[in-house]
């Protein structure tokens, strides 16, 4: 077996070369995880969770909650919460102190790629409520960024930026939210924020993603399989799944811990699902993430 974590183009090239000798491949090719936030959700809690789930490892995480879809009635309020939380992140060289939370991007090439996404978003009239630029000086640092007013189908909301960037879009109703969330070629992970028990169980079943959390994000269980959905993730992360039909995967549905007065409790359900085929540099001092 040959395993690869990388871009879709790298995965295609590897799969092609491996086919010559019929080698099996395990390809982890990225994600663009939507976070659907309904009216009535705990907005402060959602913003606090995304401070980690969207920016851990400087956003260089395939399951990062990087694409917020928030109900239009609470979008402004949620964005205020998110900007406040993200604005408190401490940026700097990893050895600068225990309080550093955001480090540099992995390479100059990737740094330029992320900055390119931000430049093109700015040219499209998308506003950075926070960040949106590189930090001057040595090292491949980008300010933790929140992009707002993102239109449906914008490049920054469809393609994996793989950096400290969260986009914020609005939706009108459940049908709109599900359609917008599914309208990307990635199918690795997603999450839903709601206080409504029916939504907490129904919406995840309508999302075409291998792992869906409810009122949580990037909460991982080692005993559960990490799964494929759609073309950007090509195989299960467990190989001993006896009886799995061809092209099938396991969907993990994780719900948050119970708390007083909340209708949704902890549960993990595993179901079979056929995927839809759609097509550093050293930095001596801590950095400020302000514009």
CB 115 within 8 A of CB 134: yes
Quick check: helix, strand or coil at residue 124? coil
Residue 276 per-residue DSSP state = P
Active site residue 244: no
| pLDDT above 50 (res 267) | no
pLDDT band at 26 (very low <50, low <70, confident <90, very high): confident
pLDDT tens per residue, range 42-71:
999 999 999 999 999 999 999 999 999 999
Asked if pLDDT for residue 92 goes beyond 70, the answer is yes
Which pLDDT tens digit goes with each residue over 15-25?
Answer: 999 999 999 99
For the CA atoms of 267, 272, 199, 265, what is the dihedral angle to 10 degrees? Answer: 0
Domain map of the chain by residue range? 1-30, 31-287
Q: Give this prediction's pTM.
A: 0.80
Q: Which CATH architecture has domain 31-287?
A: 3-Layer(aba) Sandwich (3.40)
Catalytic annotation, pick one of 20, 45, 61, 62? 62
C-alpha distance from residue 265 to each of 5, 35, 215, 257 (Å): 33, 19, 10, 6
162-188 residue pLDDT tens: 999 999 999 999 999 999 999 998 888
Q: What are phi and psi of 123, to 5 degrees?
A: -65, -25
Q: Is 62 an annotated catalytic residue?
A: yes
Q: What does residue 91 show for φ and ψ, rounded to 5 degrees?
A: -105, 135
């Amino acid at each position: 077996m040959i395993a690869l974590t990388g871009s879709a183009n790298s995965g295609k090239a590897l799969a092609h070369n491996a086919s010559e000798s019929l080698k099996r491949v395990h390809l982890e090719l990225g994600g663009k995880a939507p976070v659907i936030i309904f009216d009535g959700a705990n907005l402060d809690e959602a913003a606090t969770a995304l401070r980690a789930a969207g920016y851990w490892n400087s956003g260089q995480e395939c399951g990062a909650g990087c694409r917020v879809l928030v109900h239009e009635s609470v979008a402004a309020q949620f964005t205020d919460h998110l900007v406040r939380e993200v604005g408190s992140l401490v940026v700097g060289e990893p050895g600068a102190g225990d309080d550093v939370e955001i480090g540099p991007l992995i390479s100059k090439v990737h740094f330029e790629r992320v900055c390119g996404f931000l430049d093109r978003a700015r040219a499209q009239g998308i506003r950075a409520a926070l960040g949106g630029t590189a930090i001057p000086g040595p090292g491949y640092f980008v300010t933790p960024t929140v992009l707002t007013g993102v239109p449906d189908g914008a490049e920054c909301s469809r393609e994996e930026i793989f950096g400290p960037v969260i986009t914020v879009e609005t939706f009108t109703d459940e049908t709109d939210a599900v359609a917008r969330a599914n309208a990307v070629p990635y199918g690795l992970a997603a999450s839903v924020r709601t206080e409504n028990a029916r939504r907490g169980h129904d919406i995840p079943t309508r999302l075409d993603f291998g792992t869906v959390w409810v009122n949580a994000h990037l909460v991982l269980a080692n005993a559960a399989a990490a799964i494929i959905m759609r073309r950007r993730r090509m195989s299960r992360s467990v190989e001993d799944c006896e009886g799995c039909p061809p092209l099938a995967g396991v969907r993990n549905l994780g719900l948050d811990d119970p708390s007083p007065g909340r209708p949704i409790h902890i549960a993990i359900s595993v179901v079979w699902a056929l995927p839809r085929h759609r097509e550093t540099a050293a930095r001596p001092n801590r950095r400020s993430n302000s514009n």
